Structure formats: C-alpha cells, structure tokens
Amino acid sequence: MFSYFKSKEKSKNAFTIAFYNLENLFDTVDDPKTFDDDFTSGGKLKWSKKRYFKKINKLSHVIKQLGTEKSFVPPVLVGVAEVENKKVLEDLVRSKNLQKFHYDYVHYDSMDDRGIDVGLLYNKQLFELLHSERFSLYIENEDGEQDFTRDVLLVKGNFNGELMYILVNHWPSRRQGTEESDYKRVKASELNREIIDKIRFEDENAKIVVMGDFNDNPNNNSIQNLIKDDFYNPMQSIVSKGKGTLKYKDDWYLFDQIIFSKNFKKAKEDQHSFKYAEVFDRDFMKVFKGKNKGKPFRTYIGPWYQGGFSDHFPVYVYLKKMSRPK
C-alpha cells in the first residue's frame, strides 16, 4: 500500500471514484415496454413502495460511505448498473443520505429486454459535465436475431478541474454458461476499444476510466482484450488475494472493476494519480448467519424477500490530486 494511505487522517487531496451494481433497482410502476412485471405491487415479488424506499435508503447509506476513510466527501463519481430509469436515480440522489452531496446523474434508456440500464452519479461541485452519449452493443443470438443488452455510457467532464472520460458498462451475463456466452463479453470489450480509439483520435493524451460489472474476472479474455498494454487494472491484485464482489456457491468473483489508462500512474501538478483500489465489503452488508453467511445481503433470494442491499459489493478507488509546489 502506498505510504500516502498508511495515515489514518483524511486528506483534502484525496478523491474517490466508485462503481456499484444496485441489483434490480426498479420503481413500482409497470412499464409496458419492458419485462418489469415482477417489480410491481401485483407482481410475484410483491414489490411495494415501502420495499422500494427501504432499498433506496440502504443503497444510499452505502454510497455515502465509500472512500470516506481518506476523503472528506463521498465519491465524486459513482457508476451504477441495474437501474430501471431516471426516476430511480432521481430518488437515489434526493434521498436523505445523499441529498446534501450535490449529486446529479447521467442516464439513457437502453434496449435491454428487462429494462435495466447503467448510469453515472456525479458531484456537481467537483465534476463539470461536458458531454455524454451512449453506444449500443450489437450481438446476434443463436437464431441470428439481435440480442438486446445494456448500452455503454460515455461521459466527458472536468474532474476537479482535470479533463477525464468515463465509460460505464454492464456486460452480458453468464446465464447461458461461461464459455457459451464468452463471445458476447469479448464483443463488449471490442466496443469499448472502439470508443477508446474514438476518444484518442480527438485527444491522444486522454485520461480514461473504464468501469462496470463486466461479468468476467480480471484474468478473463474479455478484460485482457480491453486493457491490452495501455490500461492498468488495479483489481487484478485484489482478486489474487481471494476477494470478490459477489459469491456463487463457494467461489468469489470480482466482476465489478474500475480500470485506468496508464497515464493515471504519473501525474503532474493539478492532475490526479491513481493510488489505491478496494472492495467495500463491510460486515453490515453481509449475511450474518446460515449457509449464505458472508455473502452480500441481497434484496431477494429467488422469490423470497430478504430486505438487503444488493447481490454485489461496490468497488472504489482513490485518486490523489498533485498539488502545486509552494
């Protein structure tokens, strides 16, 4: 660990970026264009306003704590996955836990069959939004028809005065089997590389952050194809220690990652450098007993309501802003 982080004191030069899969953050209103029927009051999950706002409260309680061991403020940026629409992000940033931290959000509706999307929360006092757009991932299923999935979100802005580009992802799942679905995530990584090339055509020295739920570990083909030799993945060292963000049976997986262009490793004055990455897996977010002890405390297990947070732990990274010499 860097000596900068051995101190228990907070620093005005420490800033945080985070990513959190919010696990089916649906409102209670039926959207006839998507398969959200389960998450309505009359659906099989008996999703209600009480349960919805309990989840909002729990998720916002986590977000406000991310990175505050070293930083005076919660994350400047929070990438999120599995959000239904703008309304749920509005409710999240206006919640009692987050409303004083000046968050706004970027969101686009995607063509995902379930109606879940990615988004980005940002602190308006520390991040100036300059541009955003979405990129659709085109994948064909076994019948040659388009398999709709989540878009890649690109956001450009000034992070504490420094220009950065952020890509937020939620790649195709392993539901069909890891090997059988591998090509889908490789296609997603190729789309990210196309976006990166587009950014660098306009700004060859661009500082780029790629984050998301990749449904693959750092050593899988899709991630290796993404990072090549010009990106750095700090999550590689975390997964090598046996840590993860979700658990299936007895194995931990680190699907949630934040990856940096290598120019974050060396920073000049008034620029930000990468320092440290971690999984936020506090005890209060875990199942405390039974066969699932130690796993993320989730909202549902199958049709059974648990009242938890998410089936994923969030990840976060520290950046240090290099001060001008006095």
Q: Judge whether residue 144 has pLDDT over 90.
A: no
Residue 39: predicted pLDDT: 94
Residue 227: how many CB atoms within 10 A of its CB?
Answer: 20
Q: Judge whether residue 101 has pLDDT over 80.
A: yes
pLDDT band at 8; cut points 50, 70, 90: low
Instruction: Please tell me which residue, 308 or 239, carries the higher pLDDT value.
Output: 308
Residue 205: predicted pLDDT: 95
C-beta of residue 134 within 8 angstroms of C-beta of residue 108:
yes
74-78, 114-118, 143-147, 240-244 — which one is most confidently predicted on average? 74-78
Amino acid identity of residue 190, one-letter, is E
Q: What number is the average pLDDT over the span 126-142?
A: 93
DSSP label at residue 11: B
Q: What number is the average pLDDT over the span 258-269?
A: 92
Classify 238 as helix, strand or coil: helix
Pairing status of strand 315-321 against strand 272-279: antiparallel
DSSP label at residue 52: H
Residues 6+ apart with CB under 8 A from 148: 110, 111, 112, 113
Q: Look at residues 144, 167, 139 and name the one whose alpha carbon lies nearest to residue 81.
A: 167
Q: Judge whether residue 135 has pLDDT over 90.
A: yes
Q: Judge whether residue 127 has pLDDT over 50.
A: yes
Query: What angle, rounded to 10 degrees, do the helices at 49-63 and 86-93 form?
Result: 60
Residue 4: predicted pLDDT: 46
Amino acid identity of residue 144, one-letter, is G
Terminal-residue alpha carbon distance, the chain: 27
Distance CA 74, CA 68 (A): 6
Q: CA of 228: how far to CAs of 40, 168, 253, 254, 288, in Å?
A: 43, 18, 21, 19, 40
Distance CA 301, CA 307 (A): 10
Q: Judge whether residue 6 has pLDDT over 70.
A: no
Q: Which helix (H) or strand (E) holds 193?
A: helix 178-202
C-beta of residue 121 within 8 angstroms of C-beta of residue 22:
no
Q: What number is the average pLDDT over the span 284-309?
A: 96
Distance CA 234, CA 68 (A): 19
What six digits make up the tokens of 10?
A: 């907070």
Q: Please identify, in words, the CATH class of the domain defined by 3-126+215-221+231-321.
A: alpha beta
| pTM, to two decimals | 0.95
Distance CA 47, CA 27 (A): 9
Mean pLDDT for all residues in the chain: 93
Task: Report the Cα 232 to chain-centroid distance in Å.
Answer: 17
Q: Judge whether residue 104 has pLDDT over 50.
A: yes
Q: Which helix (H) or strand (E) holds 191?
A: helix 178-202
Residue 2: predicted pLDDT: 40
Q: Judge whether residue 7 has pLDDT over 60.
A: no
